[in-house]
Structure formats: C-alpha cells, structure tokens
Structure 1
C-alpha cells in the first residue's frame, strides 16, 4: 500500500468537479533536476505559463527530450486504470509511476486546443523538428552534442481492445525507451501527454429549451461574456463579472444596464492593500468599487471587503456603503443579488436621497486580490447563508412536533391507576366526611 501511485494521487487532488473537456494532463520527469511546480487546485495551466516553466526546465544546454504522445489522454484514465483504489500492481502505469517517484512535475490540466499542443511548444523552445521513433525500436541513436526531440506516438484503446490492456502495452513501450536511454547513460527529459482529451465532459444546461428539439442535437450553449478585467504590468489585478449592472437615477422604473454597454477601466488602481475598479460607459456614468484587505489575528488569515460603491453621473454622485460583502483575500465574492433596496447589501449614505439613486447587481462576482496572474476567478465565497428560510421553516416545524410528542409522552407517563374500584354488585364505597 505504501507504493501506491503518487502521481495519480496528485492528479486526483488537483481534479476539480467543473473540469472542462479541453484539458489534458502533462507528466514530466528528468534524469537531472526539474524546477518545483505546485499549481493550485482546479487551476488550468495556460500555454504561456507552460512555456515559462519549460524555459527554466530545459535550460540553454542541448539535451535529449522525449515526448510520449498518446492519441487520447485524460485525468480519468489514471483514476480508472491506475490502480489507486485497488491493487497498485494491477495498474496500467507502473513504468510511468516508477519514473515519477523522483525529479518529476505534474500538470493535472493543461489548456488544449486543436491548433496548439505541447508538441508545438517543445518545437518552439528547442528549435528543432521532432524525430519520430517507432514504439518497437530496440535501440535509440542519440547525440548529446545537439538538442534532439524524440517523438514516440502511442495509440489509444478502441472498441475491440480493452483500455487497460492498451494502456499497459503503452506503458511497456515507455519502459523500453527509458531503459535504452539509461543503459547508454544519456541525460534526458521526458514528457507524457495526450494529443487530445479521451473523455468529453459536457456540463448540463440548467434551463430547458423552448419548443421542440431533437434528442440527438442538443441546443447550443449560450455565449458567456468575458469578465471585466483591470490589468497592470504584472498581469490581471481586478476581475468583475455580473449578468446585470443596473443603475437608476430617478425612480425604479427608469433603469440603465451598464453590463450591456462598452465599459472602460480608466482611473482604476490596485496594490497589496487597496483596490479600486472604475467603470466608465463613455456617456457620463461612472460606477466605482472600492476594496481593501487586512489581516485578522482571530482567523489567522487576510480578508478583503468591498468598502463602498460610488455612482457618478454628470457631476452628481451617490455613495453606498456595503454590508456583509467580504471574503478571504485569496477568494472571490459572489452573490446572486446585490442591491440597495431589496434585502439591501448596499446602504445609501444619504437616506433622504436613497430613492433617487438605486443599484441592482444581478449574479455579481468580484475579486480584487490574489489573482496570481490568472484569467479565472478563484474559489467563490457566496453570500447565501447555510440556513435558508426553507431550512428554518423545516427546523421550527420539526421542533414544534417534537415538543408536542414529548408533552404527550409525559402526560401518558403521569397517568396513575386508582387504589380501589367500585363493585357494581356490592355495596357502594362510602367515604365518610368529617365535620
């Protein structure tokens, strides 16, 4: 049990529930040393991030690079056929597992597209064309004086062949090639990935399509607009997404949705402790979000909060203070409804003018810290509490029924029988009364 697949355990640890089908795993090991890598859970490694890592991993000295490129590969292949939950000796990746026990790096999810792949990135970094090596080649001709990219193509299972047997056969090919290089004492760096994902995971739609539709042809998913991002020299700094950014200046019936307009972020700023996102629609309307973060000793972590929201129109402004809009500094904040008039999370600073200036943010999500140069939101801290009104109604009803049951049971236990009973055939019981 102690020799179970460590690299498969890493893949399972990083595997998020919402994994997309356009991701392929990438396993790297070397006869020398590799820079450490620890992508956060659920993170998708972009080609730019992978290229930066390869610059440090491959270095400038010429070397032999092996690329084991399987036709299809996904994280589920390691989970199903790797022997994690059963006997590890029965796994289909024993040679790969042995190679990854030292000097290795695991990227659970690398961004994949038909036009870009790991092979093209390696060709660009090494500046050489790949040399195709037959899987049954017994000997490899290597030249350590120049950089070489050896490509070993591996098939994937078909309907006529069990997947476990095919993957076990591919693993034996990898073992033969590695043994050939190690016998010649040739330094190398090996990569194992897939040409495309082996399993397609489609996320079900929550809304049913209107009208009739064929079962074989699901309706196309609606296009999702990208989040609003404010970038600095080191990368993305603030991200915001909302289905609607509705503002009202006169009365609730006169709404303007800024989310449907072209917005700019001129005037925004961010640093380690403060962040301000300014949205301008070019027609004199400006919406600003002011955030800050600080360390709380009680929780032993940093938290960020949305301190205020300011609405500006034609030199007239209104300021809203936030209430209960906060999250850990490395998380994002999400709420289905953030408004200033219904279950208000935004409170108008001027109560007399509250009905003239109103905000209604639908499906609102914001993050001003801890983006780590990524293009996706971090884990979201939602505003919905655990005890919803429905849960409270159920708990109170159950409590009342329990009290009634306990009261009735107590009344039954308090019943006592009489000491003497009347005999209808005999004399009546007389109870003398004292004067």
Structure 2
C-alpha cells in the first residue's frame, strides 16, 4: 500500500511547477510625488493572496509569460558582468516591486483569480488596442528559434517587455505587471556553453531597434579591424609598461597596417608609445595560428596559439611581455578571427578561449564519478582478498567432541 501512496505523492509533485515570479506596480501619480510606495499594503508572501488583493482594487494586470524560466536564467551575466535583463532591472529600481524565487503554478493561479483573462502573442501586441476593456492580459513571449541562443532570446524578451510596458503606461497611469513562466527550465542556459567557448564580443546589428530613452545601455564594442579577411575586436583600453610593470599607462590601440601574402597575414596595431604586430598563418591541417608577435619590432615569447578554422580566438586579458626590453602590454577583451576567403559581412565564429573554464556541473560530475570509482576500487580490492579455504572436515575421520565437566 505504501508504494501506491508514494506514487501518488510523486505524481502530485510532478504536477506542481515552481517558477520565479517578478511583480511590479506602476502608478505615475504616486511615483512622481512619493517615489516608491507600498501598493500591496500587506506582508503576505503568498501569490494567491497578492493577486486577490490586487484584483479587488480593480487594477489592470499584465502578465508577461515565458514558456520556461528558472532562477538560473535571472542571474545570467554577460561578458562585462551586466545583467541580460536591463529593462526588468530598471522596473525594480524605479517602481515598487516584489520577487518570489519559487511559486507553484503561478499562471493557473492568475487565471483562476483575475478573470476574465485575454491571451495574445507578443508579436501581435502592436496591433492590439482593446486591452483597456479587460481586467487581465496575458502576453505569451515568443519561443526560441533553432539558430538562436537562449540568452539572446531572453535579452530580446526583456526589450519587448520594455516596449510593451511603455505603450501600456501611456494608456493607463496605474498598472500591475507580472513576469513569470509556465514551466521551469532545469538547465543553466549559456553557462553550459563556457567550456573553452565564449559569447561573441562583436556588437549586435545596428539594424535592431534602439531602446527607449532612459533605458540602461551597455557599452558597445566596435571592431578596430573589419576587413574582408580579418575581424578584430578589443573591448577596452590597453595598459603599457616599459619598466617591467612598475608603472602602467593606458593606451588606445588602433589599426596601423594590415597585409595579406599567400597564406600569411600581418597585422600591426599602434598605441602611440608601443606598436604590436601579429603574423597569422593558415595551416594545411585545418588550423590557423599566430606564429609571431612583436613589440616595437622585437619578438616576444608566448604560448602557441592554434585555433581551428572558422573559430575565433578570445582572451579577456591578453598579456604580451618582453623580458629583454622590460616591455609589458595588456590588451583587454581581445578577440580575433582571420578568414581565408573574402566575405562581405564578417561575424565571429565560436570562440576558442585562452583560459579553460570548468563549470559547476562538470565539477559535480567529476566528484560523483570519483566516488563511484572509489567504491568500485574498494569492491575489487575486497574481492581479491577473498581466499579459498585450505582445511576441511574429514567425513571418515574421528569426530571431535567437546566435553564439559561439571564440578
């Protein structure tokens, strides 16, 4: 009987979907005069209670609904340590907000309490003008494309939410907004891709819409070499020292020379007080290599850089030093990729990183495998210690008896 109870309990837990929920309330009149205020007027931490009280106050409710979302998605950071949700972060900083890391089936709770509910897709919200007639609007955010990373999808959804919120704020001065999902995503997006591969440093296409005024923006990275045969990006100013690191001064590197001869490329960057030259060679083994690097025309020693074809090379902090001349040059956010054939529009391929990365799942897997191997080793050693008995009772011999004397 117990196993049936366990099965029922397991199925019940499977039916409960726990996803994060972010809520914020926008009241233009109160926010303009009082700043942040307490719209919920309660210390309730139960989603059902919060939605019930908001619905009783006749406040329009907008639900931005992802298909899958987990707490790991909200803590993703890009190459510069910034969140991929600048729009949601601005809501948290500007309005009264409340965050629940885990809520059970939030969309079902919302549909049950805040009815009637109208559902539309995010692609059609520009053509939707009848929202003011409804109490609750659920907007389904578009799912990921096959050739698009989850991080890019979430960044686009954040921008879409910002656009929709601006439009709805013009229609209503008082709005209660919710960002949540139907199901949890049990993988850590993009973090699982950091094994020797990094996100591109190349800036996004300029054809995309610019964010509204006041939106937190990230520093754009502009290629300093954008040739048909080479793409090079440096995300920050370099640092140069001519006294073996005793004193560094900032330098801004720019392209000074670039030439191609057969399978060799020569690239020179000038930083005013220092000039660095890279010699790139296309090999017949399917790799391209940086065979020589010079500082002020003096060669330096460095670890071999060999990268597969159609891959880029990335290093967050590329350090070039010459012990003989005591020169040190640090290049921040260095990413480079040569192209053997000319292409009109260059884009970085997957990046081969100069520093290996071991993620938490990899460490967990190694730890578990180590324990299993230890158990297997102990078992094998124990089995090898088993010895065959070398003495047996003789069935035809004298039977030994134990006598007990009583005094």
Specify if TM > 0.5.
no
Higher relative contact order (CA 8 A, sep 6+): 2
Normalised to the residue count of structure 2, the TM-score between the two structures is 0.39
Q: Would you tell me which structure has more helix in proportion to its own residues?
A: 2
Normalised to the residue count of structure 1, the TM-score between the two structures is 0.36
